[in-house]
Amino acid sequence: MRYRQLGNSDIEISVLGLGTMTWGHQNSESDAHQQIDLALAEGINFIDTAEMYPTPTRAETWRTTERYIGSWLAASGGRERIVLASKIAGPARDPAGQQHIRDGLSRHDRRNIVEALDGSLKRLNTDYLDLYQLHWPDRKTNFFGQREYPYLDDADSVAIEETLSVLADQVKAGKVRHIGVSNETPWGVAEFIKQSERLGLPRIVSVQNPYSLLNRLYEGGLSEFSHRENVGLLAYSPLAFGALTGKYLGGARPEGSRLSAVYRTFNRYDSGSAQEAIAGYVEVAQQHNISPAQLALAYVISKPFVASALTGQTSLAQLRDNLGALDVTLSEEIQAQVAAIHQRIPNPAP
What's residue 142's pLDDT? 92
For the purposes of burial, counting CB atoms within 10 Å of the CB of 339, is it exposed (0-12), middle (13-18) or buried (19 or more)? Answer: exposed
Task: Tell me the domain boundaries of the chain.
Answer: 3-240+299-329
Q: CB of 301 within 8 A of CB of 16?
A: yes
Whole-angstrom CA distances from 53 to 169, 257, 303 are 25, 17, 28
Q: Does an H or E element contain 206, and which?
A: strand 204-210
Note the pLDDT tens digit of each residue in 340-350: 999 999 999 98
Q: Write out the catalytic residue numbers.
A: 53
Residue-wise pLDDT tens for the chain (350 aa)? Answer: 999 999 999 999 999 999 999 999 999 999 999 999 999 999 999 999 999 999 999 999 999 999 999 999 999 999 999 999 999 999 987 767 789 999 988 999 999 999 999 999 999 999 999 999 999 999 999 999 888 999 988 888 999 999 999 999 999 999 999 999 999 999 999 999 999 999 999 999 999 999 999 999 999 999 999 999 999 999 999 999 999 999 999 888 887 777 666 665 556 788 899 999 999 999 999 999 999 999 999 999 999 999 999 999 999 999 999 999 999 999 999 999 999 999 999 999 98
What residue type is 139 in one-letter code?
R
Q: CB of 63 within 8 A of CB of 51?
A: yes
How many Å is the Cα radius of gyration of the chain?
A: 19
Is 3-240+299-329 in CATH node 3.40.190.10? no
What's residue 350's pLDDT? 87
The pTM assigned to this predicted structure is 0.96
